[in-house]
Structure 1
């Protein structure tokens, strides 16, 4: 297959690219490098089935040129991804995550190309019990990031219903692993491990009782690739997570060990915090025969080893 991955130089994007290349697919990765990094895709540069294009999904002319060769499938992962940045600068998040998604959908519609849209668990209201969050769970746009992702979801599914375009929306829960940034907002796992290795304190926003369902990145990439390929996912919205949540306090203890190195600090944007995130991925398991393979303990160890070597 000839496949386009927007955001292909990003954290999750590069793992999606890696998996697809391992399957023998021909991959074009489009990324403006605002979040993605060239180091993420260095290992693919000599692969004859891989092409990297630096470009912006907001630029319609760029997209027309990229799509001129034709694709069999599009994985649309390019986005502004930081909750805090979206609160500070909502326009940029809206333009990237809504206008950019519209532009990609329009190109897919012209050529009748299936598109997978990468959303986020941050669109959800808190989990209320231990059964976890299903796809029917209430949503709560507590940040412009969440609102923009919900708008992107609605646009993506509207093209399925209005035009018969094969589309699918995926909502991975908090994804972590090698190649995730440990600077800025980054990912909590990467930040904690980086600070632990440097002998620094682990800073936690608020009281640390908020929980996250942490999905190892290779499990996430496997889910994304399956959902894009499987026609049973067309018109669907699908969760993916570990099915186990951990408090940020508990995560800090798992990574840092020494409770004396944990420090609680004032939350920058407490209004965007979700107190409990726990994934119910029954739908993906039944529809795609997918389930995570990497435990939290193993995933943390793999990530730590990569950060030591890298």
Structure 2
């Protein structure tokens, strides 16, 4: 198939692109490199299915129109977004424009060309988990940041195109994804940041009391889930979660990675109002509709991520 992947030079996008190419599709990547990096996809450029990298923004309606008119995409995996919670609190307008308005522009092209939409949302839209069976797709939402608010607004638009126009769409909500190619700086994920700090002999800084829990999904499992959602008609019009099904407190995660309690310290939280106390995913729907289950354990994933960071110049 001809596939457009927005945000394809980003962390998860790079893994989705790799999977789509391995599955034999022709892939166009659109990314403005605000979060992504061209080096993330450098090894993919040699693949015969890698058609083009376009440095551009989903806010450019003319660019989107030309791309869709020329290539007649059958699926659009829409991962392009502003993803930083703190940035959304400091500058909500940019996040709203990219995540909500930009998604609308994508939807309009997909409606015109009858292109299926796989929309990447986030577990950050959920309220805290109160059930040890985990958070299902029916769990209450709590929009504790403009990032979460913009994602829910976009989700609602995506689903409205399914009901109003019969457009095949699916909303995917992966839980906290980590692994190789994730940034190790302040805007990166907690696993990558902790590993880098450990390797550099620096303290692992935990915001707040560290009792907040996260369900950590290895990136290859996440990419497989996202890709499969595009292939299946069973999830059209649906919201679908994906996670490991195991949560771990940030304190426990730091101990697991550092192995040395003296390297761990607690600092004041920079955005406590957007913190979610407990995140634990229930992926039963993904298993039922897609046959998807995670394959990589947390311990395996941490080891793979550490090996990758050690093999790069990120330390």
TM-score by length of 1: 0.99
| Aligned: 1:183 with 2:197 | no
> Residues of 2 paired with 1:131 and 1:174: CA distance?
17
The match for 2:227 is 225
Structure 2 gap segments, 5+ residues each: none
Count, aligned residues: 310
Tell me the equivalent position of 1:42: 42
Hey, what does 1:14 align to over in structure 2?
A: 14
Q: CA deviation at 1:23?
A: 1.0
SS in 1 for 2:133: coil
Q: Residues of 2 paired with 1:281 and 1:46: CA distance?
A: 35
Work out which of the residue numbers 202, 206, 209 in structure 2 matches 1:207. 209
CA distance in 1, matches of 2:126, 2:306: 29
Q: Distance in 1 between matches of 2:211 and 2:30?
A: 38
Q: What is the CA distance between 1:48 and its match in structure 2?
A: 2.8
* Alpha-carbon distance, 1:98 to partner: 0.3
Relative to structure 2, which stretch is displaced further, 266-275 or 46-55?
Answer: 46-55
Q: Which secondary structure does the structure 2 equivalent of 1:171 belong to?
A: strand
2:53 equivalent in structure 1: 52
Task: Give the drift of 1:46.
Answer: 2.0
The aligned runs of 1:240-255 (5 Å cut-off) are 240-255=242-257
Segments of 5+ residues of structure 1 without an aligned counterpart are none
* C-alpha distance in structure 2 between counterparts of 1:129 and 1:112, whole Å: 39
Q: 1:65 offset after TM fit, Å?
A: 1.4
1: CA distance, partners of 2:234 / 2:123: 22
Q: CA deviation at 1:184?
A: 1.9
Residue 262 of structure 1: how far off its partner (Å): 0.4
Deviation at 1:49, TM superposition (A): 1.6
Structure 2 counterparts to residues 55-94 of structure 1, below 5 A: 55-68=56-69, 69-94=71-96
Q: CA-atom RMSD, angstroms?
A: 0.6
Question: Aligned to 2:46, what secondary structure does the other structure show?
Answer: coil
Q: TM-score w.r.t. structure 2 length?
A: 0.98
User: Secondary structure of 1:45's match?
Assistant: helix
1:1-310 alignment to 2 at 5 Å? 1-50=1-50, 51-68=52-69, 69-310=71-312
TM-superposed deviation, 1:47: 2.1
Cα deviation for residue 129 of structure 1 reads: 2.3
Following the alignment from structure 1 to structure 2, what is the Cα–Cα distance between the partners of residues 16 and 45?
Answer: 14
Q: Deviations over 1:241-300 (max 9, x none)?
A: 000000000000010010011010000010000000000000110111000000000000
Per-residue CA distance 1:32-65 (angstroms, 9 max, x = gap): 0000101100001222321111110001011111
